[in-house]
């Protein structure tokens, strides 16, 4: 396969007339000042595609169901109770259908890969399926159907809240102790035979409130390779609960007690002290940011200016999938900083394009968080690529150096023309090649689910 782009975002910046040659899902040659050849796939602009570093796909099925206020103050914690009730109705078929729909939408908005932070393992009430990896295999099936690159992160959720409180209600579908989690993880690894070569398996202790120090330490020793993701400081109540239990704020406790390094992705590192901000940046870990969900849940604003100022790395995710939009995640990230600081172009400390800066940082950070050899257009990298239609009215007046600013801050949905995931050309002419079939299955699944809610 050979792609010819009128303009391409290379590691050194925008280049004109670029040909990218792909074999076995990997970029094996890049030519600049190239000429078109018969059989080329021609696009107007080409960029490295982002990896979505945090997703709970099943929550896409409840989007729009939680925006009603009750009689008390609404918060993340009241939203969570609605989510638990929703989970109790989900069947394996519905989980697969919702995941496939979310994966289609992710690719149509420009993501080539996703880290699925997967914690629904069991039947309602907590009984195991005959195949303990049943629901992970449903995620695998959805990824295979849609062609998205997948980093699968089975989640260990041992306790209901800080202090080793027991699981209850909807949490019972998540629950494993250390022994049963290892059996689950082994079954998931065994199921990799059904997946393409670029699939990655890591693991995810859900949060400090859902494990305990010994389990967490043992888990990192038992799994010396692969990505490690953890929810870390999403809510101020979470910070207070962990501090009361473990004697330190969650980020500080993690940094003091675990070998946090480039394998780690700290999801929702929202509430960090200045010392924690410096510590995470210096560790090489990725801050996993999900600005749309964090805004939807009222989590707070990430300290982006100071974090980038000390060299911190980050990527973005869609988390609850209430709205799946790559440009909106990035614009929300920058706009939250502007609202807090009351100035513009905050996440850039030098002259240049804010959009290009946050996009390229997210591409590299997301690839690292997924353990995925992608994030730039270069020989030897996976062919995770996205093309924009620069003739679109929102972009047609812009120069290449402004394309990302236009896409992130000014364009509506629909400017992505093509997406490749490890060379799989899944989005063509703005639509996923499996959209019609996936939408049909999704609609049936949601009609069936709606009758039970």
Q: Which residues are catalytic?
A: 268, 319
DSSP per residue, 362-378: HHHHHHHHHT-S-SS--
- Contact yes or no for 272/282 (Cβ under 8 A): no
Closest C-alpha among 263, 147, 155, 156 to residue 199 = 147
- Contact yes or no for 321/55 (Cβ under 8 A): yes
DSSP per residue, 163-225: TTBPP-GGGGGTB--HHHHHHHHHHHHHGGGGS-TT-EE-BEE-BGGGS-HHHHHHHHHH--S
C-alpha to C-alpha distance for 188 and 137, rounded to whole angstroms: 7
DSSP per residue, 80-102: HHHHHHHHTT--HHHHHHHHHHH
C-alpha to C-alpha distance for 447 and 453, rounded to whole angstroms: 10
C-alpha to C-alpha distance for 169 and 193, rounded to whole angstroms: 34
Bridge partner list, 385:
48, 420
C-alpha to C-alpha distance for 279 and 306, rounded to whole angstroms: 12
Closest C-alpha among 116, 79, 68, 76 to residue 96 = 116
What's the first-to-final CA gap in the chain, in angstroms?
47
DSSP per residue, 125-155: TSPPPSSTTHHHHHHHHHHHHHT-EEEEEEE
What lies within 8 Å, CB to CB, of 21 at 6+ separation is: 1, 2, 27, 28, 29, 30, 31
Closest C-alpha among 56, 76, 87, 55 to residue 171 = 87
What lies within 8 Å, CB to CB, of 221 at 6+ separation is: none
- Both structure tokens of 346: 């905050």
């Amino acid at each position: 396969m050979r792609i010819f782009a009128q303009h391409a975002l290379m590691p050194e910046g925008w280049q004109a007339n670029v040909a990218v040659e792909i074999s076995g899902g990997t970029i094996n040659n890049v030519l600049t000042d190239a000429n078109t050849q018969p059989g080329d796939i021609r696009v107007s602009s080409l960029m490295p595609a982002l990896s979505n570093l945090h997703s709970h796909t099943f929550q896409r099925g409840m989007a729009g169901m939680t925006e009603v206020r009750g009689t008390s103050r609404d918060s993340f914690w009241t939203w969570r109770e609605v989510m638990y009730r929703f989970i109790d109705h989900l069947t394996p078929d519905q989980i697969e259908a919702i995941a496939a729909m979310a994966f289609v939408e992710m690719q149509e908005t420009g993501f080539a890969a996703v880290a699925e932070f997967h914690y629904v393992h069991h039947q309602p009430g907590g009984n195991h399926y005959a195949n303990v990896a049943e629901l992970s295999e449903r995620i695998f099936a959805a990824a295979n159907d849609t062609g998205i690159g997948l980093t699968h992160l089975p989640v260990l959720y041992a306790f209901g809240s800080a202090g080793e409180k027991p699981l209850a209600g909807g949490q019972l579908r998540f629950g494993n102790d250390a022994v049963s989690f290892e059996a689950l993880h082994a079954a998931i690894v065994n199921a990799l035979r059904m997946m393409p070569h670029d699939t990655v398996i890591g693991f995810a202790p859900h949060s400090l409130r859902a494990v305990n120090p010994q389990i967490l330490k043992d888990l990192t020793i038992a799994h010396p390779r692969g990505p490690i993701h953890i929810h870390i400081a999403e809510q101020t109540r979470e910070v207070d609960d962990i501090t009361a239990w473990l004697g330190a704020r969650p980020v500080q406790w993690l940094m003091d007690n675990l070998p946090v390094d480039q394998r780690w992705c700290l999801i929702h590192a929202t509430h960090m002290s200045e010392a924690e901000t410096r510590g995470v940046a210096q560790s090489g870990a990725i801050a996993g940011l999900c600005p749309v969900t964090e805004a939807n849940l009222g989590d707070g604003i990430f300290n982006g200016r100071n974090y980038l100022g000390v060299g911190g790395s980050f990527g973005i995710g869609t988390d609850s999938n209430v709205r799946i939009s790559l440009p909106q995640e990035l614009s929300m990230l920058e706009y939250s900083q502007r609202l807090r600081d009351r100035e513009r172009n905050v996440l850039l400390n030098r002259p240049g394009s804010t959009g290009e800066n946050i996009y390229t940082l997210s591409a590299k950070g997301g690839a690292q968080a997924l353990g995925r050899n992608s994030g730039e257009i270069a020989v030897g990298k996976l062919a995770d690529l996205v093309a924009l239609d620069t003739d679109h009215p929102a972009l047609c007046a812009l120069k290449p150096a402004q394309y990302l600013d236009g896409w992130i801050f000014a364009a509506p949905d629909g400017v992505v023309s093509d997406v490749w995931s490890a060379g799989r050309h899944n989005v063509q002419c703005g639509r996923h090649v499996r959209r019609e079939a996936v939408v049909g299955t999704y609609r049936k699944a949601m009609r069936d689910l709606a009758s039970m809610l």
